[in-house]
Amino acid sequence: MVIAHIEEAKVSYILLEWTEFLVRWLHVIAGIAWIGSSFYFIALDLSLIKRKDIPKNAHGEAWQVHGGGFYQIVKYLVAPEKLPSQLTWFKWEAYGTWISGFLLLILVYYISADLYMIEIEKFDISNWEAISLSLIGIILGWVLYNFICKKTVNQNNTILSIFILLVFTLFSWLYFEVFSHRGAYMQIGSMLGTIMVANVLMIIIPGQKKVVKSLLENKTPDAIHGITAKQRSLHNNYLTLPVIFIMISNHYPSIYATDYSWIIISLIIIVGALIRHFFNIKHSGKKPPYLLWIPILIIILFSVYLSDKGKPNLTENNESSNLIIEQIPNELILASEEIIVSKCSMCHAKEPLWENMERSPKLVNLENISDLIKNIEGVYSQAVASYAMPPGNVTFLENSERKTLYDLYHLVNKL
């Protein structure tokens, strides 16, 4: 969606959209692989049983059936008597997710920082300043988190988690003061995601490597590696759902772009952790705490309420769009208005005529020229540079009409 900067739009627009999409594809797939294996190992760990006949030093055993075969898995807490020559490490799922995620951050947010990160009314900064602030936050978030964890590694994990939550609520508030809503939201997502990957890269894997090295040298490994790794995987386990929530919510403006979205982030961290907790207990074979769904539901409902409370106040008129309208030739205004009224506004209206539609989809109204100018970027990506709108071309939008919308887009971007 890097449209705004491109003068001769079409070709480079499509190329950029493809690049962005391919990176996003990779990001989602790497994320699925990472979170999938993480869910798998957590559930596996919780299902281990200590039978009498398992090998010496073994911690537990699980039997599983999948894909037409049976698996007998034995877990050693420290290590077996003799390490096999071949070991499968699980790390590229995490690294791949971070690398593609960071590329996506550059492609979508950093390249168009003026569109997606900066809000001049809050803080008038240049693109480079916004990018620097974002990078500083990503690094600082990890350094601070790592410091707190190292200081408290042997202490109560619940207090630590609450403390970390408070630190991140502060970060959210801070970034919502500095960046646009969308920029701030993704910033917090990136900071949390980075912590999860850094836990793997900087703590869990190096610790495990040291353990393997000691074992190969016939020394007893330092127990601290195991303790730290356990603490960090616990955090990753509980952060998984909230981070995914943040990453996909940037398609849902009423979640990320309200006055209270920074509080919603913290509430969702709690909700995600509670849901994970429910499944952790369920997978360990104990009776699942069904009552946990009551606070989960209450917090979600409260978040919905906050979204509504934090939405913009619609009493002011947009004068700048009137200024633009004065500079557009009358024929183009009439032609464009005719198109949206006949091809879009049965859905995109305050009171849509489309059956069972309560309000305009995605709150995009297209009833007159000022609506159209307000949404011109979206109209361009949905109906000019692609066939996404009208859905299934239900209203038979002609290519010549798309061209008229393109002319308008082009003109508005020049003004």
Residue placing its CB nearer to ligand HEC in the complex, 214 or 404: 404
In the complex, the smallest distance separating the C-beta of residue 100 from ligand HEC, rounded to whole angstroms, is: 22
Residue placing its CB nearer to ligand HEC in the complex, 195 or 397: 397
Residue placing its CB nearer to ligand HEC in the complex, 105 or 405: 405
In the complex, the smallest distance separating the C-beta of residue 401 from ligand HEC, rounded to whole angstroms, is: 8
Cβ atoms < 10 Å from Cβ of 407: 16
| Cα 288 from Cα 281, distance rounded (Å) | 6
DSSP output for 345-357: TTTSSSS--STT-
Phi, psi of 65 (to 5 degrees): -130, 130
In the complex, the smallest distance separating the C-beta of residue 379 from ligand HEC, rounded to whole angstroms, is: 4
Q: Identify the helix (H) or strand (E) that includes residue 188.
A: helix 181-198
Angle, CA 98 vertex, CA 12 and CA 86 arms, to 5°: 125
| Cα 350 from Cα 359, distance rounded (Å) | 6
Residue placing its CB nearer to ligand HEC in the complex, 134 or 250: 250
Q: Which of 334, 339, 326, 387 is nearest to 366 (CA)?
A: 339
Angle, CA 128 vertex, CA 127 and CA 134 arms, to 5°: 95
In the complex, the smallest distance separating the C-beta of residue 106 from ligand HEC, rounded to whole angstroms, is: 22
In the complex, the smallest distance separating the C-beta of residue 224 from ligand HEC, rounded to whole angstroms, is: 49
In the complex, the smallest distance separating the C-beta of residue 319 from ligand HEC, rounded to whole angstroms, is: 23
Residue placing its CB nearer to ligand HEC in the complex, 284 or 321: 321
In the complex, the smallest distance separating the C-beta of residue 201 from ligand HEC, rounded to whole angstroms, is: 34
DSSP output for 49-68: B--TTSPTTEEEEEEEEETT
Is 94 within 8 Å of 196 (Cβ atoms)?
Answer: yes
In the complex, the smallest distance separating the C-beta of residue 389 from ligand HEC, rounded to whole angstroms, is: 3
Helix or strand or coil: residue 71? strand
DSSP state of 179: B
Residue placing its CB nearer to ligand HEC in the complex, 133 or 186: 186
Binding interface with ligand HEC (CB under 6 A): 343-344, 346-348, 354, 361-362, 364, 366, 375, 378-379, 382-383, 389-391, 394-395, 397
DSSP state of 3: G
> What crossing angle do the helices spanning 181-198 and 261-283 adopt, rounded to 10°?
30
What are the tokens at 306?
A: 């906050």
Residue placing its CB nearer to ligand HEC in the complex, 113 or 384: 384
Residue placing its CB nearer to ligand HEC in the complex, 86 or 400: 400
Residue type, 138: I
Residue placing its CB nearer to ligand HEC in the complex, 16 or 263: 16
In the complex, the smallest distance separating the C-beta of residue 288 from ligand HEC, rounded to whole angstroms, is: 33
| Cα 336 from Cα 404, distance rounded (Å) | 7
What residue has token string 């690294």? 95
